[in-house]
Amino acid sequence: MKKKSSLLALVLACSVVMGACSNAGNNTPPDQTGTPDNNTSANTEPADPFGRYEEAVTINVGIDVDPTDNELPAGDTPMDNQYTRQIKEALNVDVNHHFAASGQNYRQRISLAIASNDLPDAMVVNAVELRQMVEADQLADLTEVYERYASPEIREIIESTNGAALNAVTFDGKIMGIPGVQANADGYHLMWLRKDWLDKLNLEPPTTMAELETVARAFVEDDPDGNGQRDTIGITGPESGGKLYANFLESKNNLYGFDPIFSAHHSYPGYWLEGEDGNPVYGSILPETREALASLRDLYAKGLIDPEMAVRNKADEPIIAGKSGIFFAPWWMGYGPLTNAVRNNPEANWQAYALPLDESGVFNAHIATPSTDFVVVRKGYEHPEVAMKLSNNLLKQEQENTFDPSKGGPGYYPLRVVHAPSDEIEFTVEATRELLAGNKTAEDYQDAKTYKLLQSDLASIKSIKNEPYDVLDIETWNPEANWGAWTRSYSIMVGGTPLVDTDINEVPSLIYEQTPMMESRWVNLRKIEDETFLRIIMGAAPLETFDTFVEDWKRQGGDQITQEVADALAE
């Protein structure tokens, strides 16, 4: 098949042909001790999701760890730490790093791995990469692995998404990856606001766009931080490389974008929507988006949006330094800039609101797909079920609180994807309220096992939350008592409350995956979109550029892609 004799073959050797054992389950050596699953026969028979291998099994993974993170205890290494030791202990699996990188560089490593067919046994990829690998026939079919090895808890979480999670990994009826499931709450973008500034300036949280402008102007002009200088930002915008809004491919956790401002105009750029005629349309090219851009452009021109948006390297710096009054982001901002902001200034009263509203007083929000990252296994790897077992094990250990994050962050767990029940945040908010109101006790929630952190949340809440319990302002919290618990509970209670208490008009995208044509064309379409919108908002191009953009977008493949989306939906 390939000749290694000549030097020329050196470069051609990328055609390394993987062992053709797609039916990996049958090649699995009899695993684990004392489970009834000494199989080889029926492939659908359930196996022990936590079974320990008798003989050590090695898995080479690609892992996203920050190389500058040196918080591991002395003697530990990225390949030898509490996580890998627990895995060795529980499963007898040795974890090797095929590659390790962080952020954008992790994506680049995956790209290199795919292109050169030099794949790790397993890694975590995004939807685009997943699709690419399926097409290149690089992935093991995990249907059987999932059927047999998924633990009941994981299964419950994955199946609680109404099929969305499994849909995302199913190609031609085969499951090609293990989908992660993140809480729905990650997909709702809220308005975070310095309530202490509002109080000082005698203002109310802005509900309409007009009020938002008033508040932002006051934040810029009326010296809310009281230092006598005009050095505050009204509304923080995305940082360099950040997104103006979440889109159908990256539909959640967009920090410092303008998602709620768009949706207050009924504009959902980056999303595939149902048009008036019932056919799919792309939100970015609709007139509502033009309106929203016009209003953002106006805010920017008036100096109410951070003048350094899109160029600033770290948008969180002014927030931490107490120089910004409003930003848009999901619920978990305690984990984001707010811990440091409150450390800097214990009076920084950041509160979250489901605002601004549209003209009829409704809060619109585009909602996310639960699954954006996926564990995939290389075709030909002898033990594809190891990937599943690692996920099972992680969820179990998280429920049992085995790992100590101060001894190395959870990113060191190999093949880590989040598995959370979709309503984790809302459920936790309501449970905490019941507990604080004295209606229920922690024991009442013993059975809610998939909410893995609920018990510890309930146990610690009273040590960090002072009375009155129904007020969430910063002075009613006691972060010094336990910063870790405060970060979580403040995020959940402040960031989760609007989700529970607001009637949200939810707008999903018709699809959350790429269609075939997007593979070659989407990047370029996204580029003109991002560029045009940024330039319009920041006044570098007139609003009319939007119309040219729409034309260009359609001509450069947008129309064909829209048709493809329609076809895909018709199926």
Partner 1 sequence: MVRDQTLGNRVTDIVLIVILVGITLSCVLPIWYTLSLSLSSNSAAAAGQVWLWPVDFNLNAYGQILNDSQFFRSFWISTQRVLLGVSLNFIIVALMSYPLSRTAAQFKGRNVFMWILIFTMLFNGGLIPLYLTVKELDLLNSIWALVLVGGAQTLVFNIILTMNFFRNLPKELDEAALVDGAGPWYTLFKIYIPLAVPVLATVSLFSIVYHWNEFLYGLVFMTREQFYPLQTYIQQLVVSVDPSTMSEDQYRRLAELSNRTLDAAKIFIAMLPVLIVYPFLQRFFIHGITLGSVKE
Partner 2 sequence: MRMKGFAKHYYLMLVPGFLWLFVFSIIPMFGIVIAFQYFNPGRGITGSDWAGLEHFRYMLLLRDTQEVFINTLVIASMKIVANLIAPLMFALMLNELRLMILRRWIQTIVYLPHFLSWVILGGIVLDLFSYNGPVNQLTALFGVQPKLFFADAQLFPFLVVTTDVWKEFGFGTIIYLAALTGINPALYEAANIDGAGRWRSLWHITLPGIRTTAVLLAVLSLGNVLNAGFDQIFNLYNPLVYSTGDIIDTWVYRTGLLNLQYELATVVGLLKSVIGFLLISVSYYLAYRFVNYRIF
Asked if 71 contacts 84 with a C-beta cutoff of 8 angstroms, the reply is no
Residue 226 engages partner 1 in binding (rule: CB under 8 A): no
Task: Look at the block and give the residue holding tokens 């229920």.
Answer: 440
552 touches, from partner 2, partner 1, none (C-beta below 5 to 8 Å by class):
partner 2
34 Cβ contact partners less than 8 Å away, ≥ 6 residues apart: none
Partner touching 389 among partner 1, partner 2, none, CB below 5 to 8 Å by kind: none
Q: Which of residues 470-489 bind partner 1 (CB under 8 A)?
A: 487
Closest by CA to 117, choosing from 12, 6, 22, 28, is: 12
Closest C-alpha to 334, from 455, 443, 457, 437 = 457
Residues 6+ apart with CB under 8 A from 301: 539
Q: Are strands 174-175 and 170-171 parallel, antiparallel or unpaired?
A: antiparallel
Q: Are 551 and 528 a contacting pair, CB within 8 Å? A: no
Nearest to 423 by CA among 188, 263, 129, 230: 188
Paired tokens of 527: 């580029």
Handedness of CA 528, 533, 535, 541 (dihedral sign): positive
- Judged by CB under 8 A, does residue 115 bind partner 2? yes
- Residue 507 or residue 534: which is nearer to partner 2 going by CB? 534
Tell me if 100 contacts partner 1 by CB under 8 A.
yes
From 285-293, 404-412, 421-429, 533-541, give the range in contact with partner 2 by CB under 8 A. 533-541
Judged by CB under 8 A, which of 214, 530, 543, 560 binds partner 2?
Answer: 530
CA 247 to chain centre: 12
State yes or no: residue 534 binds partner 2 (CB under 8 A). Answer: yes
Judged by CB under 8 A, the residue of 23, 116, 463, 466 near partner 1 is: 116
Closer to partner 2 by Cβ: residue 8 or 570 = 8
- One character per residue 234-263, x = contact with partner 1 (rule: CB under 8 A): ------xx-x--x---xxxxxx--------
In whole angstroms, the minimum distance from the beta carbon of 326 to partner 2 comes to 18
Q: Is 373 in the site for partner 1 (CB under 8 A)?
A: yes
Q: Which amino acid is at 107?
A: R
Task: From the list partner 1, partner 2, none, pick the one residue 308 interacts with, judged by a Cβ distance below 5 to 8 Å according to partner type.
Answer: partner 2
Is residue 1 exposed (0-12), middle (13-18) or buried (19+ Cβ within 10 Å)? Answer: exposed
6 binds partner 2 (CB under 8 A): no
Nearer to partner 1, 149 or 197 (CB): 197
Euclidean distance between CA atoms 60 and 119, whole angstroms: 9
Rounded to 10 degrees, the C-alpha dihedral 532/535/537/538 comes to: 170
For the chain, counts of helices (H) and of strands (E): 21, 15
Nearest to 430 by CA among 495, 493, 350: 493
Mind giving me the DSSP string for 405-433? GGGS-GGGSTT---B--TTHHHHHHHHHH
Instruction: Give me 163's structure tokens.
Output: 């099929």
Tell me how far, at minimum, the Cβ of 138 lies from partner 2, in Å: 5
Q: Strand runs (DSSP E) across 51-180, as ranges? A: 57-64, 93-101, 122-126, 170-171, 174-175, 178-179
Which entry of partner 2, partner 1, none binds 540, CB below 5 to 8 A by partner kind? partner 2
Beta-bridge partner residues of 96: 60
CA angle 462, 466, 472 (to 5 degrees): 105
In the region spanning residues 228 to 267, those forming contacts with partner 2, defined by CB under 8 A, are: 240-241
Is the bond preceding 468 in cis, omega lying within 30 degrees of 0?
Answer: yes
Q: Which does 270 bind (CB under 5 to 8 A by kind): partner 1, partner 2, none?
A: none
CB of 449 to partner 1, least distance (A): 20
**Which one, 263 or 372, has the nearer CB to partner 1?**
372
Report yes or no: 157 and 148 within 8 Å, Cβ to Cβ.
no
Q: Does the protein bind partner 1 through residue 128 (CB under 8 A)?
A: no
C-beta of 18 vs 543, nearer to partner 1: 18
What radius of gyration do the chain's Cα atoms show?
25
Matching residue, tokens 């209606």: 439
Judged by CB under 8 A, the residue of 138, 289, 349, 391 near partner 2 is 138
Q: Does residue 523 touch partner 2 according to CB under 8 A?
A: yes
Q: Select from 92-100, 105-113, 177-185, 381-389 the region that touches partner 2 (CB under 8 A).
A: 105-113
Residue selected from 73, 405, 468, 516 as contacting partner 1 according to rule CB under 8 A: 405
In the region spanning residues 482 to 521, those forming contacts with partner 1, defined by CB under 8 A, are: 487, 491
Residues 138 and 123: their CA atoms lie apart, in Å, by: 12
- For residue 2, state whether it binds partner 1 (rule: CB under 8 A): no
Min separation Cβ 530 and partner 2, Å: 5
Position 443 contacts partner 2 (CB under 8 A): no
Pair 550, 285: CB distance under 8 Å? yes
Q: Assess 411 for contact with partner 1 (CB under 8 A).
A: yes
Check binding of 310 to partner 2 (CB under 8 A): yes
Beta carbons of 81 and 89 less than 8 angstroms apart: no
129 makes contact, choosing from partner 2, partner 1, none, with CB < 5 to 8 Å by partner type, with partner 2
Judged by CB under 8 A, the number of residues near partner 1 is 63
Please enumerate, as own/partner, the contacts of 539-543 that have beta carbons within 8 Å and a separation of 24 or more.
539/297, 539/300, 539/301, 543/290, 543/293, 543/294, 543/297
The encoded tokens of residue 10 equal: 């050196």
The answer to whether 126 contacts partner 2 (rule: CB under 8 A) is no
> Under the criterion CB under 8 A, does residue 554 sit at the interface with partner 2?
no
Region binding partner 2 by CB under 8 A among candidate stretches 77-85, 147-155, 307-315, 499-507: 307-315
398-421 burial, b for 16+ CB within 10 Å, e for fewer? Answer: bbeeebeeeebbeebbbbbbbbbb
Q: Specify the residue, 141 or 259, whose C-beta has the smaller distance to partner 1.
A: 259
Determine, following the binding rule CB under 8 A, whether residue 20 of this chain makes contact with partner 2. Answer: no
Kindly list the residues in this chain that would bind partner 1 in the complex (CB under 8 A). Answer: 10-11, 13-14, 65-71, 78, 97-105, 107-109, 112, 115-116, 118, 126, 182, 240-241, 243, 246, 250-255, 313-314, 316-317, 320-321, 323, 332, 335-337, 339-340, 344, 372-373, 405, 409-411, 418, 487, 491
Kindly list the residues in this chain that would bind partner 2 in the complex (CB under 8 A). Answer: 2, 7-8, 10-12, 14-16, 104, 107-108, 111-112, 114-117, 128-129, 132, 135-138, 240-241, 307-308, 310-313, 519-520, 523-524, 527-528, 530-531, 534-535, 538, 540, 552, 556
